[in-house]
């Protein structure tokens, strides 16, 4: 990814073997070569945009790297958040991720079915869950992610907790999300690009989000930076809540999964 010019972007004309060797022996030269290639890359994207072809930065900070190399109009085409995603954020719709601590894929398949029951009218969501089951292999503990709105996160979390309580799934379920969400990140080249109030780089939301999730009873809360765009270019907070089938967990889930995206 372009957000890591030393380890994430193969310079133009280099073989993979050259890249691996020079990254070790000449890191500064490798970064410079990568950024030069990024500048050429973005220049081509600008040409596409000028021709009327839909063009956007998919969040890896390549425009920033190109600008640092003298492509002064690198930001003439938008990032994917203002171009496509922000209307979802405005409705509290964002990533909802869960993990089966049992390690049993059947527990995820059962939760998939429950999601489809609860969010009954979202055909796009149903297609995604069906496709993910067939095409996406689990890595480590079985997990799933989808995008759902403010009210549905809370309902799904409580439903998962009931599945643990009843024994329908064989172990607790852990719920988290991505740092890409409606109120958990300040990233002026990605999630908070082109804010209407000019607050692109104002990072109060991640801090407030972390405090709110702590007070709401999240199982753990984290503050970090660099997601998607490289270290120093963003701040964001994360949270996780465990569904262990208890009444206490249900109360925490209801607070966290309402307040987090609210």
| Catalytic site positions | 146
Residue 184 near residue 190, CB atoms below 8 Å: no
Domains along the sequence of the chain with CATH: 16-77 (no CATH), 85-259 (3.40.1770.10)
User: Residue 29 and residue 78: Cα distance in Å, rounded?
Assistant: 29
DSSP state of 74: G
pLDDT given for residue 6 in this prediction: 94
Say what the pTM is: 0.88
pLDDT given for residue 30 in this prediction: 96
Residue 91 near residue 261, CB atoms below 8 Å: no
Q: What tens digit of pLDDT does each residue of 19-49 get?
A: 999 999 999 999 999 999 999 999 999 999 9
pLDDT < 70 positions in the chain? none
* Helix, strand, coil % in the chain, rounded to nearest 5: 45, 15, 40
pLDDT given for residue 181 in this prediction: 78
Partnered with residue 145 across adjacent β-strands are 97
Q: What tens digit of pLDDT does each residue of 163-180 get?
A: 999 999 999 999 999 878
User: Residue 147 and residue 128: Cα distance in Å, rounded?
Assistant: 10
Nearest of 74, 252, 86 to residue 185 by alpha carbon: 86
Radius of gyration of the chain (CA): 21
Q: What tens digit of pLDDT does each residue of 61-74 get?
A: 999 999 999 999 99
* Dmax (CA) of the chain: 61
What's the 3-state SS for 136-148?
A: CCCCCCCEEEEEE
């Amino acid at each position: 990814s372009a957000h890591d010019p030393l380890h994430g972007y193969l310079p133009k004309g280099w073989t993979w073997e050259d890249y691996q060797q020079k990254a070790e022996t000449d890191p500064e030269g490798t970064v410079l070569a990568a950024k030069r290639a990024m500048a050429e890359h973005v220049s081509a994207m600008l040409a596409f945009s000028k021709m009327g072809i839909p063009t956007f930065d998919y969040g890896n900070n390549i425009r920033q790297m190109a600008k640092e190399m003298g492509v002064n109009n690198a930001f003439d085409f938008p990032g994917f958040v203002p171009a496509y995603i922000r209307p979802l954020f405005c409705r509290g719709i964002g990533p909802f991720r869960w993990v089966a601590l049992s390690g049993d894929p059947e527990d995820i398949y059962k939760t998939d079915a429950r999601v489809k029951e609860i969010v009954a009218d979202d055909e796009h969501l149903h297609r995604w869950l069906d496709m993910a089951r067939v095409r996406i292999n689990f890595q480590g503990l079985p997990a799933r992610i989808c995008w759902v709105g403010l009210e549905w996160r809370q309902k799904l979390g409580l439903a998962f907790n009931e599945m643990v309580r009843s024994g329908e799934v064989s172990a607790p379920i852990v719920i988290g999300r991505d740092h890409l969400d409606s109120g958990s990140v300040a990233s002026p080249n990605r999630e908070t690009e082109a804010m209407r109030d000019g607050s692109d780089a104002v990072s109060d939301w991640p801090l407030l989000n972390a405090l709110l999730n702590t007070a709401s009873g999240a199982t753990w809360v984290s503050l970090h930076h660099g997601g998607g765009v490289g270290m120093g270019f963003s701040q964001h907070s994360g949270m996780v809540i465990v569904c262990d089938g208890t009444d206490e967990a249900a109360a925490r889930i209801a607070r966290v999964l309402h307040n987090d995206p609210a």
